[in-house]
Chains A and B, each alone.
Chain A
């Protein structure tokens, strides 16, 4: 076991050393140093095991043993506009497309943006006038407790997406960041990184999409950071529909300034193993966040959501609604913590996790947690686990609906609250289809 882990680490080390040498001249020194520190951290801690409380229900052994290798610079997958069309959100007028972590300018579109707004890949940004923004945010002292996945992401920080909204900028059309996994010579480990900086009074909608071009194995290890300035508003969709052979580990961190609004909706449909860690810091008065999501998993899939909403300032509001639909022999984990510090008076925090089990073999471990140290707060949380209602099912079939269709329709009814929240038609449609066509029953909406 130990030997295995060491070997795994050293294979990442070899790729890391090669990358550092290659980038030595073209990337800023602060970045090379940051990566070195992160690599050391990774070598020290490795991937988390189930001995760690936070990873108790999610065994990442398959990733450790998976012989994934970081994609070499310049590794190119032949993929044209027609191949990626199906993964694009037509509502977005600007987008960055990455294939196996490599930025593809010819598939991307960065025009049509309001003055001063930057939507750029890191390589372009490092070389240009926006280097200072990247530096200011990426080179901040990182959490010394950062886990092995996040450390490895930082170690391989090279390509990524920068979205910068200057003060007052309003971007009305969504911005899509698409990370595609495609078959490559080696089973690729990719390390997407996203930085969103919304200065005061700006507003934008980000669609962060992960998908696979086929059913092959891949390992995505992503880190996304969102900074929401004073009175700024960031609406963020994360849609993960990678192949059912994929491993998807992601972390989303958001920090909100005074009266900033962050609205996150996550959709988890793909991957054999997915883990999404979310951390939202409400450290300034009047900030408000939504952290909502839906996971829909079937046989062979495992989806884990771990979130921490941290209220450290008064008068902040957080809303969290996560719904899970589990079919076949699937498994999901929801662990949501809302932490209210002593000074965070007048906090309003609502958290709920609801699960629908469609089979007796599905398993959910849910743990909503409230930890409150302030005394004048309005907080509520709860979790439910249920099955389809027999009487509702009978009602539908007694009107002539085939059983599969009736089950899908009831499942849709369960998810509807979240589907309705989605303001991007193409995402909504994908989700409709995922739910309604689940049992091979065709259903248009």
Chain B
């Protein structure tokens, strides 16, 4: 479904991704871990098509097509979804209206009938249960005045409404207390099925107790320096990132001097 080949990207003149390769197949859950600043969010934003991030080389195929030549909205309608690490607040735009517009854009793209506000309300109510989202948050402006946890739930609610083929969840666990973490993870698990794929970006292993990944990758200084099964996450939990860093420096001395 997703094939990233030797991807290099920069932001504000700084090279951040320096040769990322990753293959994600239908039905799989991949976790991308790594210390702060290693480029996890950059990878996520490059996939979503954020204009500030410039791809300097490499390619990304999504369902066999060149993802990088698509506009961000085309990517989204085609089934790519990014749950932001820091969702923005949008004053004056109601959450329900925004969700309906996004939903209908996708329906139109698929050649399906759009839903009117009443029909959509029912759908939204049903999807909101997946993340136990308070109905009061629907009529409020997008993320405005939401707590950290509410913002993250809102991201997963959007995922539940849009039903993407590929969901990249960027630190969806950060800022969640233990109960919220459980609810959000259970929500993600409900949305997980054989036809879609999930890339979980996380800093901590605790999320992976709830959403069990098929593969774990460690991103460090813009490269995937190690991949393994879910036991890799446990090893990281136990030993921290230092051993990975040391290993990476040894095999890639240029990375240290850059």
Contacts and interface: CB of A to CB of B under 8 A. Distances in A.
Interface of A: 389-392, 394-403, 405-406, 409-410, 412-417, 443-445
B61 to A, nearest CB: 19
B92 interface: yes
A415 B92 CA distance: 7
A386 to B, nearest CB: 12
Nearest to A405: B101
Nearest to B161: A399
Contact of A399 (B50, B92, B141, B162): B162
B215 interface: no
Contact of B105 (A389, A402, A410): A402
A417 B158 CA distance: 25
Query: Which 10 pairs, one residue from A and one from B, show the smallest C-beta to C-beta distance?
Result: A413-B92, A416-B92, A400-B76, A399-B102, A413-B93, A397-B73, A400-B105, A400-B77, A397-B72, A395-B88
A401 B93 CA distance: 13
A130 to B, nearest CB: 44
B165 interface: no
Contact of B93 (A391, A403, A412): A412
A417 B73 CA distance: 27
Interface in B82-102: 82, 84, 87-88, 90-93, 97-98, 101-102
B240 interface: no
B151 to A, nearest CB: 11
Contacts of A410: 90, 93
A445 B43 CA distance: 35
23 contacts: A395-B87, A396-B90, A397-B71, A398-B48, A398-B82, A399-B81, A399-B98, A399-B105, A399-B158, A400-B76, A400-B162, A401-B101, A401-B102, A403-B71, A403-B73, A409-B98, A412-B93, A413-B141, A415-B92, A416-B93, A417-B92, A443-B101, A444-B116
B51 interface: yes
Interface of B: 48-52, 71-73, 75-77, 81-82, 84, 87-88, 90-93, 97-98, 101-102, 105-106, 109, 116, 141-142, 158, 162
A445 B97 contact: yes
Nearest to A419: B92
**Which of B51, B52, B71, B88 counts the most chain A CB atoms within 10 A?**
B88
A73 to B, nearest CB: 48
A320 B52 CA distance: 38
A400 B84 contact: no
Contacts of B73: 397-398, 400-403, 406
Question: Secondary structure of the A side of the interface?
Answer: helix
A406 B90 CA distance: 11
B93 to A, nearest CB: 4
A392 B87 CA distance: 9
A406 to B, nearest CB: 8
Given A392-B88, A398-B50, A409-B93, 12 more contacts: A394-B50, A395-B142, A398-B72, A399-B162, A400-B76, A400-B109, A402-B73, A403-B73, A410-B93, A412-B92, A415-B92, A416-B92
A415 B158 CA distance: 25
Nearest to B91: A413
A323 B164 CA distance: 38
A395 B90 contact: yes
A390 B51 contact: yes
Contacts of A413: 90-93, 141
A401 B105 contact: yes
Contacts of A391: 88
Contact of A397 (B76, B90, B91, B93): B76
Contacts of A401: 73, 101-102, 105
Given A398-B48, A400-B162, A401-B105, A392 B72 contact: no
A39 to B, nearest CB: 48
Contacts of B76: 397-400
A412 B94 CA distance: 10
Contacts of B97: 409, 445
B129 to A, nearest CB: 20
Nearest to B52: A390
A400 B102 CA distance: 6
Contacts of B102: 396, 399-401
B139 to A, nearest CB: 12
B49 A398 contact: yes
Nearest to A420: B92
A395 B75 CA distance: 13
A398 B168 CA distance: 12
A389 B143 CA distance: 15
A75 to B, nearest CB: 45
